[in-house]
Amino acid sequence: MAPDWEKLSAEWAGKDNALVAEVDCAADGKPLCDANGIRGFPTLKYGDPAALEDYSGGREYKALAEFAEANLKPMCSPTSLDLCDDEKKKEIETLMAETLESLDSKIAEEEKKLEEAETTFREEVQKLQEAYQGLVDAKEATISSVKSSGLGLMKAVKAHAAKAGSGSDEL
């Protein structure tokens, strides 16, 4: 993915309305990565720097370039109200009228929902992995049991009998 990302980054270098960049989360960029919930690498984010969103599209150049062209542009935000429709403007104005404490509380509630969804997902995936492993173990036990019951010998005897019945003495 690195060559495709570098190509995209070079194409977007110097644009006033967007930035395609990388951050080293194991070095100086660690605080930025921690603040944005980055746990795995590479993680791609986009959007308003104050509220980055996860990118989940393709990782090859064509998919990255198409996404960038369609999505990396000035967006409706508190600093760009002129880009907002009336509904978003009203939503932003309502939120801007709230206290920082109220916003902190609402943000915490919504982030808790995200964390709960992630926890549920991990727990359910673990259950699926355990069920899968149980099925693999049961399959392997059945295969072993069938093989030890003489299946191979039965097939050899059948083949021998079929050849003997055809009048050939060859093995």
Residues 4 and 43: their CA atoms lie apart, in Å, by 15
Res 9: pLDDT: 86
The CA distance from 148 to 133, in Å, is 22
Taking the CB of residue 60, how many other CB atoms lie within 10 A of it? Answer: 10
**Whole-number Å distance between alpha carbons of 22 and 5:** 9
Residue 30: other Cβ atoms inside 10 A: 13
- pLDDT score at 96: 95
Asked if 7 and 61 touch (Cβ cutoff 8 Å), the reply is: yes
Amino acid at position 111, single letter: E
Confidence at residue 165, expressed as pLDDT on a 0 to 100 scale: 79
Q: Which CATH number fits domain 2-75: 3.40.30.10, 3.90.226.10, 3.10.690.10, 3.40.50.620?
A: 3.40.30.10
Instruction: Give the Cα separation of 90 and 75 in Å (integer).
Output: 16
- pLDDT averaged per 10 residues in sequence order, the chain, 171 residues: 84 78 84 84 81 86 89 84 94 96 96 94 97 97 93 92 73 52
pLDDT of residue 171: 52
DSSP 80-93: -GGGS-HHHHHHHH
